[in-house]
Amino acid sequence: MPFFNRVWWCLSLLCSASLSAEPAQNSPPVDTQPPPAVQRSVVDIPAHLEETVRKAMAGQGEFAMPGSNALLNKLTPAQRESLMQMAKQAKARQQALLESGTLSHFQSDYLTQQVKRHQQAAQMISTHSVSKLDRVLTEHAGMSEEQVRGFAANAEQAGAPQSRQDEPHEKAMFMSFSMPRAEIRHLIQVAAEAGAEVYLNGLHPEHTQINETMLMLRDLAKGIDNPPMIRFNPTAFKKYAVNSVPTILYREFDRHILAAGVTSLTWLEQEFRHQDQSVDYGVTGPISPVVERSIIEEMQARMARYDWQAARQRTIDSYWARQTMVSLPRAQHTESWMIDPTVSASKDIYTPRGKLVAAQGAVVNPLKGHSTGLTTVLFNAMDPRQVEFVTAQLETLDTVGQLMLITSQIDTSKGWAHMKVLTEHFGQQIYLMPQALASRFQLTALPAIVRTDLDRSMLHVTQFSLSSQE
């Protein structure tokens, strides 16, 4: 056996067994009795290799593993001691890696948690596959949030257009605005009495916004008790090849029946009982054409015409105008104070890797246990004197650990250009101050410097009067 393999074998033994420092005397011979059957719950060994593995573990055959005592007897006390030290160092290194989180991605608890998280995400995606439809309809179809909720975006009330196709039963009536108003109202009345839904392929041909069509439908259903669900369902129009109306549909699981030119769902359901497969009765009465364009095609066409690059640029250009700036005056007096950052966790707090940092109700000081400090310089970049002060401070400032620069205000008319000038001037990233940070540091004026005092696990805050610096 090569030397490296022998050393690794000995390390494995020393890590898993308790051995004396001296070699054992009169070591018993290697046990040649077959070991217990291989447990598949530990290692899944193919059936055709089980006998080979059994012999190897018994010290027999081509792949025989050496007996622990026989191998150890060949080592000198110095070699045994050296191997024991190597085993301890390996174990200590393993423990250090576990504590640092380096191996956390390979632990079963973490992997199980990640699998569950992705399973939940997949379930959420499959359940709410049209969750972004409300935003699309609001931004590109001219609908208000209230109108969007009424237009099948609310899954609890209307569901996705294709959702009923996953249900065991479906009863529906297809309509079009090519039908006379009286016939449309009659169809809605029949659907209400039969407990059916009314499907529409798309917008009224003269309408450009969904809310216009919805208002017309609402007016048509006015006065009907418990009006049916009327919704766009171009998927059903395509699936059942509906190109004339009225058309009625009754379905149970994968078997359905269709008829055009008639509105009697009771008759259609009775006919269904006499069929053992899906059937289309075709046209059985007066019909009108489907004149609406599929709303899916309509939305796709609108999105194709939409200038996404311009929209992206508008978002970037308006970013700073949408930010809330913190207004703090220039400090009149230089003063300092200490802040205890200890907080009580209102809920369980986890790291991005899923490790519990603090349980709900626990009292936590985020500075305890940290070896690297942080120096934060806060100023108003719109005040030239404060910019000069920070520039001078950075030349002599004895920073604690990492350095962060935060401004309370930015010239919103110049936005990114102003931020770029600041970044180039100071040679590092500049951040915008959130209001919560000013409150947390108990700031009443600027400029200020906040240092972490790791020995006391506290924050040291100093506000500087620029007049005293002159």
| pLDDT value at residue 344 | 85
Per the CB < 8 A criterion, the answer to whether 432 and 410 are in contact is: yes
Is pLDDT at 128 greater than 80 in this prediction? no
Residue 87 belongs to a domain: yes
Q: What's the CATH number where 155 sits?
A: 3.40.30
Both tokens of residue 77? 């006390």
List of residues 6+ apart from 14 with CB closer than 8 A: 83, 84, 87
Q: Which of 66-70, 100-104, 171-175, 270-274 has the lowest mean pLDDT?
A: 66-70
Query: Do 19 and 138 reside in the same domain of the chain?
Result: no
Residue 313 belongs to a domain: no
Query: Do 52 and 95 reside in the same domain of the chain?
Result: yes
Query: Do 387 and 455 reside in the same domain of the chain?
Result: yes
| pLDDT value at residue 65 | 54
Q: What's the CATH number where 433 sits?
A: 3.40.30.10
Residue 127 binned pLDDT confidence (cut-offs 50, 70, 90): very low
Residue 73 belongs to a domain: yes
Q: Which of 87-96, 369-378, 432-441 has the lowest mean pLDDT?
A: 87-96
Q: Which of 102-111, 129-138, 283-292, 343-352 has the lowest mean pLDDT?
A: 129-138
Roughly what angle, to the nearest 10 degrees, separates helices 295-305 and 133-140?
Answer: 60
Q: How many domains does the chain have?
A: 3
Query: Do 249 and 160 reside in the same domain of the chain?
Result: yes
Q: Which of 122-131, 262-271, 368-377, 435-444 has the lowest mean pLDDT?
A: 122-131
| pLDDT value at residue 387 | 95
Query: Do 270 and 190 reside in the same domain of the chain?
Result: yes
Q: What is the pTM of this model?
A: 0.42
Query: Do 200 and 267 reside in the same domain of the chain?
Result: yes
Is pLDDT at 22 greater than 50 in this prediction? no
Both tokens of residue 166? 């996953």
Residue 319 belongs to a domain: no
Side-chain-side CA neighbours of 192 within 13 Å: the count stands at 15
Q: Which of 21-30, 90-99, 118-127 has the lowest mean pLDDT?
A: 21-30
Average pLDDT over residues 95-106: 66
Average pLDDT over residues 461-470: 81
Percent of the chain whose predicted confidence (pLDDT) is above 70: 69
3-state SS, the chain, equals CCHHHHHHHHHHHHHHCCCCCCCCCCCCCCCCCCCCCCCCCCCCCCHHHHHHHHHHHCCCCCCCCCCHHHHHHCCCHHHHHHHHHHHHHHHHHHHHHHHHCCCHHHCHHHHHHHHHHHHHHHHHHHHCCCCCHHHHHHHHCCCCHHHHHHHHHCCCCCCCCCHHHHCCEEEEEEECCCCCHHHHHHHHHHHHHHCCEEEECCCCCCCCCHHHHHHHHHHHCCCCCCCCCEEECHHHHHHCCCCEECEEEEEECCEEEEEECCCCHHHHHHHHHCCCCCEEEEECCCCEECCCCCHHHHHHHHHHHCCHHHHHHHHHHCCHHHCCCCCCCECCCCEEEEECCCEECCCCEECCCCCEEECCCCEECCCCCCCCCEEEEEECCCCHHHHHHHHHHHHHCCCCCEEEEEECCCCCCCCHHHHHHHHHHHCCCEEECCHHHHHHCCCCCECEEEEEECCCCEEEEEECCHHHHC
Query: Do 59 and 169 reside in the same domain of the chain?
Result: no
Give the model confidence (pLDDT) of 234-247 as tens digits: 999 999 999 999 99
| pLDDT value at residue 83 | 76
Per the CB < 8 A criterion, the answer to whether 175 and 187 are in contact is: yes
Residue 423 belongs to a domain: yes
Roughly what angle, to the nearest 10 degrees, separates helices 3-16 and 77-100?
Answer: 70
| pLDDT value at residue 121 | 45
Residue 453 belongs to a domain: yes
Residue 48 binned pLDDT confidence (cut-offs 50, 70, 90): low
Query: Do 282 and 141 reside in the same domain of the chain?
Result: yes
Residue 7 binned pLDDT confidence (cut-offs 50, 70, 90): very low
Residue 281 binned pLDDT confidence (cut-offs 50, 70, 90): very high
Residue 323 belongs to a domain: no
Average pLDDT over residues 265-280: 93
Query: Do 147 and 290 reside in the same domain of the chain?
Result: yes
Query: Do 95 and 147 reside in the same domain of the chain?
Result: no
Q: Which of 41-45, 342-346, 433-437, 461-465 has the lowest mean pLDDT?
A: 41-45
The range of the structural domain enclosing residue 220 comes to 133-295
Is pLDDT at 368 greater than 80 in this prediction? yes
Instruction: Calculate the alpha carbon distances from 222 to 151, 194, 398 in Å.
Output: 17, 18, 75
Query: Do 284 and 423 reside in the same domain of the chain?
Result: no
| pLDDT value at residue 213 | 92
* Higher pLDDT among residues 326 and 100, named by residue: 326
Residue 25 belongs to a domain: yes
Q: Which of 15-24, 119-128, 139-148, 364-373 has the lowest mean pLDDT?
A: 15-24
| pLDDT value at residue 153 | 38
Query: Do 75 and 209 reside in the same domain of the chain?
Result: no
Average pLDDT over residues 407-425: 92
Residue 113 binned pLDDT confidence (cut-offs 50, 70, 90): low
